[in-house]
């Protein structure tokens, strides 16, 4: 009797395994799609900021800013950080009022402040 119970439990576990794997695959796929959307949104925002300040820049095939021109000198970008600047309203809640962008290059860090918001 015990062998039959273990055998049935094993059959049920094996039969439901593909369903569980499919659900996990769906979650991973959704997370990957969201990550791609957020990355595109970030890259588009950086391009909008640079364009609004008329800072010459180059992007690669994926839309990532890879070089900027400051003081007639092209600099390679190694990384970019976007820091939201918060503003407190009358009801004490905080909202994003602007963004500070840090462009890390081989020659130092360039700081750009922008009132544009990511959307």
CB 78 within 8 A of CB 106: yes
- Place 15 in a pLDDT band, splitting at 50, 70 and 90: low
Strand-by-strand arrangement of the 57-59 sheet: 57-59, 65-70, 73-88, 94-105, 108-114
Bridge partners of 43? none
Write out the residue range of the structural domain in which residue 15 sits.
Answer: 2-114
- Place 110 in a pLDDT band, splitting at 50, 70 and 90: very high
* Residue 119 located in a structural domain: no
- Place 63 in a pLDDT band, splitting at 50, 70 and 90: very high
* Residue 63 located in a structural domain: yes
Task: Report whether pLDDT(17) > 80.
Answer: no
pTM score, whole prediction = 0.73
Q: What letter does residue 101 receive in the DSSP assignment? A: E
Give the total number of structural domains in the chain.
1
Distance CA(31)–CA(41), nearest Å, equals: 15
Question: 3-class SS at 40?
Answer: helix
């Amino acid at each position: 009797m015990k062998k039959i119970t273990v055998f049935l439990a094993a059959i049920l576990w094996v039969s439901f395994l593909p369903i569980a794997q499919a659900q996990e695959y769906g979650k991973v796929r959704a997370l990957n799609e969201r990550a791609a959307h957020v990355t595109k949104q970030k890259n588009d925002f950086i391009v909008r900021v640079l364009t609004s300040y008329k800072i010459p820049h180059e992007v690669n095939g994926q839309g990532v800013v890879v070089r900027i021109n400051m003081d007639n000198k092209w600099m390679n970008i190694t990384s970019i950080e976007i820091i939201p600047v918060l503003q407190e309203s009358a009801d004490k809640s905080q909202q994003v009022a602007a963004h500070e962008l840090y462009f890390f290059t081989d020659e130092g860090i360039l700081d750009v402040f922008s009132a544009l918001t990511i959307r």
